Structure 1
Amino acid sequence: MQKLLKNKTLCPLFLMFFVSFSFCKKSPSGTADENLAALLPLLNAASSASFCPKSPLPADIYLATTVVSASANVSGFSDPNKAVNGVCGAGELVGSLDVYALDITGAGATMILSWGGRTVKNVADSIDFIIYDNSFRISDDTNTYAMDPSVIQVSIDNTNYCGFNPSYTGANVNLMSSWLRFGGLRPVYYNMTTKPYTNEDLFINTGGSFLLGGGDGFDLEDLDPNDPNDTGCDNTVANNIKTTGFKFLKITSAANVNNPNTGIQFPWPPGSYNGSDIDGVVAREIQ
């Protein structure tokens, strides 16, 4: 939830942990009681999220369960197990605290997860996995979010990685429409305590590119062997992944990856002192 710490410092500290800065501003027309009443649902949601994740984890949710590599050490968010211990989203307006924070650049800007040796399948006519971060909306414009864009790549052997050729198309880092084929863009509605969806529920499209449980979905059919930032990917490797599935997932803060359109690294939201915040990854089917 580190994105919140860069915002307005006029809010009480406990609100800073749970509520986006747009809800820390005094209402020009509401009374104190009215403002508190409007704030309580957000605080309740954040409080409920604090009791997440469940233990044991639900067997029907196909979570990435194994941290293969992780070297970031962001104060307060340095436990990589937070990326595999369940998904604890807090909704459209609040991010989760149950996350592992990557660095913005360097070796700590990347982590690799797996499903404990199992394979994530390519399901026909469907997204195949969902990345859960802790993005949240920061204005009345539904396209404007505090985001942690991440570059997503997959591999069979943890050596040859193929990705989705992400693209940054705009000048405003907080506009979701500026980022194409990245993780870390959309809010997380799924919470194992307060919204215990089934695995099938999580993959229901509710309109556009939004899912019932939130997060960012990826379809293996969209793998692009021409992504210049991939390592060891070509048509053969990409087609093998599409046919047999993948075992390893690499997540990298976008600021640590070159934008092929400019030759320099992708931009990063100003004021953030860390990179992407990983809450979890769920596959559609595994074998």
Structure 2
Amino acid sequence: MNNAIKWTALSLALLASVGCRLSGKESAGALDPGSVLGLASLEFSSSASCPGSWSFTNAYLADVAVATKSTLTYGDPAKATNGICGGGWTAGSTDVYSLANNAVCEGAETCMRLEWKDKRVLNATGVDLVVYENAFDYSSTGTNRFLEPVIVEVSEDGTSWCGWNPAYSGITNTSDPSFESSVRFPGNYSDLAGITPVLLRSNETRLSSADLFTLTTDSHGTYLKGGGDGFDLDDADFGSSGNGCNTTLRDAIRSGGFVYVRLTTAYSRSSASFPLSNGSFDQTGDIDGVIAQQTGAR
């Protein structure tokens, strides 16, 4: 048994019979922070060794967070800076922070701001930033996935933000019979985090730092070897969105890097443009962590 939450046949039968939800999400395989039910039929592998120490010398973990700390089980922002504890393709992690409203958000949005202590993130070759959220597959096909997409923006001063071109191209009418399958299909999303499951675990050594920024292709499709969603400052879409972003700021970030990254639940910015699955109980993203490929002194 690997380090992930696993269902037994008994737990599936029990959850189906009572129609309950685990961790705030629907019971059909969903594993997401919220109120974890103490069912005897649920098996938990030991998580004592994760996150463990961060041993990736050329992959830099964001280690400072500005976010609202709550009394909820997954309301501690430190869970987004203490390492990465992915559950693999078909399970979520419990070492995450559920986004909430705070002073760095736009209006009533749910978000958090992360940074690298005394460092700035520099523009490297290829993927510059990887965001690890909490997506997971309901089945092995890769077309039926639990998703709570997150908008990613970066900033030099914490006031003006530049993002990519986050979009959902699927069905937005929640009454449409195909709505649920549409919002669960990862191919309907672009330039968003929270789309790819998290495969990386900080306490494991099977991956190198370079692997975390390297794409691979297999039956799951094309994805970063450690999972998560990558963002490149040289991408043509960078600078297409963000409060205060313009070509001058975009180019300055490309040449000099950035200090802050802000992660915002897409649904909280526009529920019409980024509708969520009916299985999303708390309607907010859950952050496991963020890494950068290259940093330098501020």
1:214 aligns to 2:224 (yes or no) = no
Q: Which residue of 1 aligns with 2:64?
A: 66
Query: CA shift at 1:48, angstroms?
Result: 4.2
Determine which structure has the larger helix proportion and give its number. 1
TM superposition shift of 1:240: 0.6
Partner of 1:32 in structure 2? none
RMSD, aligned α-carbons: 3.2
- Determine what percentage of the aligned residue pairs are the same residue: 34
Q: Name the counterpart of 1:242.
A: 254
Q: Where do 1:101-116 residues align within 5 Å?
A: 101-103=98-100, 107=108, 109-116=110-117
Q: Which runs of 5 or more residues in structure 2 are unaligned?
A: 31-40, 172-181
**Residues paired across the two proteins, number:** 254
TM (normalized to structure 2)? Answer: 0.76
Q: CA deviation at 1:159?
A: 1.1
Q: Per the alignment, in what secondary structure is the counterpart of residue 134 of structure 1?
A: coil
Task: After TM superposition, give the deviation of residue 111 of structure 1 in Å.
Answer: 0.4
C-alpha separation between the residues in 2 aligned to 1:231 and 1:217? 21
Q: Provide the rounded CA distance (Å) in 2 between the counterparts of 1:244 and 1:283.
A: 14
Matched AA of 1:283: A
* Counterpart Cα distance in 2 of 1:153 and 1:214: 19
Alignment partners' CA distance in 1, 2:45 and 2:205: 14
Corresponding residue for 2:130?
Answer: 130
Q: Answer yes or no: is the 8 Å Cα contact 1:113–1:248 preserved in 2.
A: yes
Label 1:100 to 1:108 Cα distance change in 2 as closer, same or farther (>3 A). farther
Q: Distance in 1 between matches of 2:207 and 2:255?
A: 28
**Structure 1 portions without partners, runs of 5+:** 25-39
Aligned CA distance change for structure 1 residues 206 and 59 (closer, same or farther; 3 Å): closer
Q: Which amino acid aligns with 2:163?
A: G
1:224 match:
238
List structure 1 segments (4+ residues) > 6 angstroms apart after TM superposition. none
Is the alpha carbon distance of 1:72 and 1:179 closer, same or farther for their aligned partners in structure 2, counting shifts above 3 Å?
farther
In structure 1, what residue type is equivalent to 2:263?
I
- Deviation of the 1:141 alpha carbon: 2.3
Match of 1:184 in 2: 194
Tell me the distance in 2 between the aligned counterparts of 1:279 and 1:9. 29
Q: 2:109–2:269: 8 Å Cα contact kept in structure 1?
A: no
Map 1:55-204 → 2, pairs under 5 A: 55=53, 57-58=54-55, 60=57, 61-67=59-65, 69-71=66-68, 73=70, 75-103=72-100, 107=108, 109-124=110-125, 126-171=126-171, 172-195=182-205, 197-204=207-214
Cα 1:196/1:115, change in 2 over 3 Å: farther
Instruction: Tell me the alpha carbon deviations over residues 10-69 of structure 1, each in whole angstroms, 9 at most, x when there is no partner.
Output: 2499x957xx95569xxxxxxxxxxxxxxx9x95xx5144531114x32614100101x2
- CA–CA separation in structure 2 for the residues paired with 1:72 and 1:271: 24
Kindly tell me: are residues 8 and 158 of structure 1, through their superposed partners in 2, closer, same or farther at Cα, counting changes over 3 Å?
farther
